[in-house]
């Protein structure tokens, strides 16, 4: 075996690890070894959001400054112990197209993907065999709006959802904006959840039309926060909590407290994304701030009520 490759044994599984010194984030000097180390250390809090959900990946074989590709199907050479689920692709004609999805149920699978330079992991709002158990509110700022403005909109959304008995747990996207993860009963299809999310987005856009839009057209987004209700469609995925994001620096999708969100919205603290090392420190200090999103929630109201 070449000197830059070795076999690691993790929880009884053998995984070939390679090129630990390869730069994944050249500007930050962040290597593949550090990428694997991050995912290994964050696994205890990240795996609950991956288990039972088909994972899609964005891979950067030669780092974030080089070519990348989006991957749904199992990669070539997938070990036999990796859980695969053959599922229809949401949105395909009469669900005739199927894909062998990777399901990240354990640490060995997560490390194996990290070694493949799968920097970003994305998951749907539903578990295999179930209807959505999460509603996601994606807040996407149009420049010059940024994370500060997203934080202000997040507090409005939190209060509006609370009127319907729905809790919201905030996290940064790791890039520009943020998302709210809202636990719901897994007994409604994605169409109903999307319709409800759209209704609430349109309500808030009508309330604050100068700062919020519920329309997808990019021409109307500059200076506003787009509430992307469409993330709840069955075919859509959202960046998994704690996933790294591709960019100049290794930032991650970081859970927040509502006090932090309010402080960002009011300017009491800097509205910013968090790096990999900071996210690990935050987990050590606070535990999993999103844990409540895994505990289930109510049915969303009918859009006409």
Q: What is the pLDDT of residues 4-41, one digit of tens each?
A: 899 999 999 999 999 999 999 999 999 999 999 999 99
Assess whether pLDDT exceeds 70 at residue 276. Answer: yes
Average pLDDT of the segment spanning 263-284: 98
Assess whether pLDDT exceeds 50 at residue 43. Answer: yes
pLDDT of amino acid 1 = 55
Assess whether pLDDT exceeds 60 at residue 140. Answer: yes
pLDDT of amino acid 96 = 63
pLDDT of amino acid 136 = 97
pLDDT band at 219 (very low <50, low <70, confident <90, very high): confident
Average pLDDT of the segment spanning 300-305: 70
pLDDT of amino acid 95 = 55
Average pLDDT of the segment spanning 113-125: 98
Q: Which of 21-25, 90-94, 228-232, 258-262 has the lowest mean pLDDT?
A: 90-94
Question: Where does residue 87 rank: exposed (0-12), middle (13-18), buried (19+ CB within 10 A)?
Answer: middle
Render the burial of 239-277: b for 16+ CB within 10 Å, e for the rest. Answer: bbbbbbbbbeebbbbbbbeeebbbbbbeeeeebebbbbe
Backbone angles phi, psi at 101, to 5 degrees: -85, 145
Tokens 């044994």 appear where? 9
Query: In what helix (H) or strand (E) does residue 152 lie, and over which residues does it extend?
Result: helix 147-163
Could you give all domains of the chain from N- to C-terminal order, each with its CATH number? Answer: 5-123 (3.90.920.10), 134-294 (3.30.70.3300)
pLDDT band at 252 (very low <50, low <70, confident <90, very high): very high
* Whole-angstrom distance, CA of residue 189 vs CA of residue 187: 7
SS (H, E, C) 247-262: CCCCEECCECCHHHHH
Peptide bond preceding 60 in cis form (omega within 30 of 0): no
Average pLDDT of the segment spanning 211-227: 93
Give the predicted TM-score (pTM) of the model.
0.95
Q: What is the pLDDT of residues 75-91, one digit of tens each?
A: 999 999 999 999 987 66
* Whole-angstrom distance, CA of residue 145 vs CA of residue 124: 27
pLDDT band at 303 (very low <50, low <70, confident <90, very high): low
Average pLDDT, the chain: 95
Average pLDDT of the segment spanning 270-292: 97
pLDDT of amino acid 305 = 47
Q: What is the pLDDT of residues 153-211, one digit of tens each?
A: 999 999 999 999 999 999 999 999 999 999 999 889 999 999 999 999 999 999 999 99
pLDDT of amino acid 131 = 93
Sign of the torsion angle spanned by Cα atoms 281, 41, 237, 299: negative
Assess whether pLDDT exceeds 90 at residue 3. Answer: no
């Amino acid at each position: 075996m070449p000197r830059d490759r070795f076999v690691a044994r993790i929880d009884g599984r053998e995984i070939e690890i390679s090129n630990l010194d390869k730069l994944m984030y050249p500007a930050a000097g962040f290597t593949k070894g550090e990428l694997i180390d991050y995912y290994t250390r964050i696994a205890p809090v990240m795996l609950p959001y991956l288990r039972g959900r088909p994972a899609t990946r964005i891979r950067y074989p030669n780092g974030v400054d080089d070519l990348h590709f989006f991957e749904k199907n199992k990669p070539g050479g997938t070990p036999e112990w990796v859980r695969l689920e053959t599922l229809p692709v949401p949105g395909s004609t009469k669900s005739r197209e199927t894909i062998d999805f990777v399901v990240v149920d354990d640490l060995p699978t997560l490390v194996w993907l990290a070694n493949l330079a799968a920097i970003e992991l994305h998951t749907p709002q539903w578990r295999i065999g179930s209807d959505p158990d999460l509603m996601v509110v994606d807040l996407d700022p149009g420049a010059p709006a940024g994370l500060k403005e997203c934080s202000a909109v997040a507090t409005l959304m939190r209060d509006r959802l609370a009127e319907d008995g729905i809790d919201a747990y905030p996290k940064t996207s790791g890039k520009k904006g943020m998302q709210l993860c809202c636990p719901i009963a897994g007994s409604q299809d994605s169409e109903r959840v999307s319709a409800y999310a759209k209704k609430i987005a349109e309500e808030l856009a009508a309330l604050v039309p100068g700062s919020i839009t519920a329309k997808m057209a990019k021409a109307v987004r500059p200076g506003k926060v787009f509430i992307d209700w469409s993330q709840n469609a069955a075919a859509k995925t959202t960046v998994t909590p704690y996933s790294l994001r591709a960019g100049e620096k290794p930032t991650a999708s970081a859970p927040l407290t509502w006090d932090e969100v309010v402080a960002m919205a009011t300017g009491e603290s800097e509205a910013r994304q968090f790096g990999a090392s900071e996210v690990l420190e935050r987990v050590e200090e606070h535990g999993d701030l999103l844990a409540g999103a895994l505990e289930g929630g109510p049915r969303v109201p009918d859009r006409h009520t």
